[in-house]
Amino acid sequence: MSWNSALIPDSHRDHWLMLACALVGFSNLYCTQSIGGELHSLFGLSMSQSAVLVGVTTLGLAIASPFVGLLVQRIGSRRVLISGFVLLGLLNACLAFATDFAVMVALRSAQGAAMPMVLSSLLTSIERQPSTRAALGISATYVMGTICGGVLGRLLPALLVPGAGWEAAFLTMAALHVMACLLAYSGFRLPPTPTPIANAPPPANGPTSLGLASVYAGGFAVLFSQMAVFTFVAFRLAAPPFSWHTAALGSLYLIFLPALGCVRASRHVVTRLGHIKALAAAALVGWCGLLATLSSDTPAVVGGLVLFSIAVFFAQTVLAHALSVAPAVSRARASGGYLFFYYMGGSIGAIAPTLVWADFGWGGCLGLVGATQLGLAAIACRLSGDAGLCRPPHPQMRRSTHRNDQHKEL
């Protein structure tokens, strides 16, 4: 068995392992977002300083992702995954004893740079699934893990810091990474040889090398939209006529949870429609939700945000699978590039609406999101020959996938 072989989750047990690894790895990104008040009372940090602790993590993740992709290619997914959990655990332990803002910024930047070691390794494993159906299923599991990780990363510090203290909260986070490291070391199996994603030829006029550009553009647009909406909707809900208090705003991220059930349906939609039509359907649902947020009625706004979050995570699942089948010289490099554009979109999306907020408010924020999505879609269509990605899987590929699944059941 080669240590350079990719991870291959291929059973219910391995889906749970993928879920746990993605959950713990992603929990670092927003772990200081929900404790701004505690950061002020404990260390005297202002609101802008608290925001910096999230921003530098996202930026570090984006910058480090291409380099981590090269590292995965060189030494293998399993080694990088385990090393990533060890490094993130140590950084959380150091953060537990940090009291200086500059030290916190340095540690949070390092956490961002270490996160791609986990996320890129997991994304690379999707390409090694034995069938299109299996790849779609594991893509959905990966996204479910990132959703749960985002919730856990915000919720755990918010619950532990006020009652147990700063040190206890981040030592608990460190312990979670130790457990994830043990799971990654003992749970995932390494095959002796790589297994192609589908045992059938691609469509006759399949995707060209520019197909990867569309996946990158889609990743940028998805996180740009999510960060812009969920950063600035808090300002809208804190102002009249809503006037939400801090605790209510802190619980807003729980609306991500309904998306857990919906991302599992992505494989059926992609099988029938193909990636591009599935993304278009997600955009339509997302904009139905965003238009509802223009209302002054609280249930309408919350319902709209639920629809939008479902659409965002559905699109993320589709893109994760599209990445696994898009042509690339190196799958590890491709996943590193995707993470770079994805999180760079998030970094810009958290800041760009400030350009229009003072004059146009929430409507201007949504207008900027829409213009960005349309602009990136136009660029992707111009640059890419995604004929293969626009179509459902080739009939021969469907038959091969069906045979593979029947053989597994037997």
**What would the pLDDT profile of 102-156 be if each residue is shown by its tens digit?**
999 999 999 999 999 999 888 887 766 667 777 778 888 888 898 889 888 888 8
CATH 1.20.1250.20 fits 211-396, yes or no: yes
Q: Are 55 and 143 within 8 A, CB to CB?
A: no
Task: Kindly report whether the global pTM for this prediction surpasses the value 0.85.
Answer: no
Q: What is the mean predicted confidence (pLDDT) over 15-34?
A: 88
Residue at token pair 């034995």: 130
Q: Does the domain made of 13-187 have the CATH classification 3.40.50.11540?
A: no
DSSP state, 227? H
What residues does each domain of the chain span?
Answer: 13-187, 211-396
Q: Do domains 13-187 and 211-396 have the same CATH topology?
A: yes
Burial class (CB in 10 A: 0-12, 13-18, 19+), 47: exposed
Q: What average pLDDT is seen over the chain? A: 80
Q: Which of 258, 115, 251, 259 is nearest to 180 (CA)?
A: 115
pLDDT beyond 90 at 261: no
Tokens 């699944």 belong to 405
CB atoms within 10 A of CB 34: 23
Residue predicted with more confidence, 3 or 308: 308
| Distance separating alpha carbons of residues 39 and 105, to the nearest angstrom | 13
The beta strands (E) that lie in 11-101 are given as: none
**Per-residue pLDDT band at 171 (split at 50, 70, 90):** very high
